[in-house]
Structure 1
């Protein structure tokens, strides 16, 4: 009977804690996407005004993305490659029922990338 109860609690824990982990992953992906968009706004205005070319200021893009992450209470890595800002977040989600079987937390990862776009209503080439 005890083994059966532990098994049922473990299955319930997988359902409950799996849902919490999925929600944490969605949140991490959203925060990573938003941070990447914040970084992608760091365009080189002088190059844009002189040549019409959208290019990033890499150091400013990293700083803007990290600033956004700090604002939402997340931490992660930011890379700039060409005109693309990529943000990766790793977060830990505590468990509710899986702690009964020795799993106290689950790790989730979120990734997002963005690049600057020209246009107000639609994206121009």
Structure 2
């Protein structure tokens, strides 16, 4: 199988990210690496530089990685990781966590390139529920 864009879910809550990962695994048919980088190293609520950095490295199969974050400090921590550990094709996307991740994984599962996956996730800002 060709390399697919990976997805990292940056959240304050491991439970939230794990549940979303389970949903995305079904939507992506198992073709996309989706990794949570959520909570603190000791299992609490918060963000962890080390968890995010490790997930980004692990999700990078050669086609790039899209990061989606839930709240303010998760965005700041993800940005810091990307500044400290720059790499080609690592993009923090300004999109809602759930809808953006769904759009990203669906696009990535088709073999879409990084720019297309980023665009799909960003377009999720405009999704209307009714």
Query: TM-score, length-normalised on structure 2?
Result: 0.29
Higher strand share: 1
Query: TM-score, length-normalised on structure 1?
Result: 0.29
Tell which structure's C-alpha radius of gyration is larger. 1
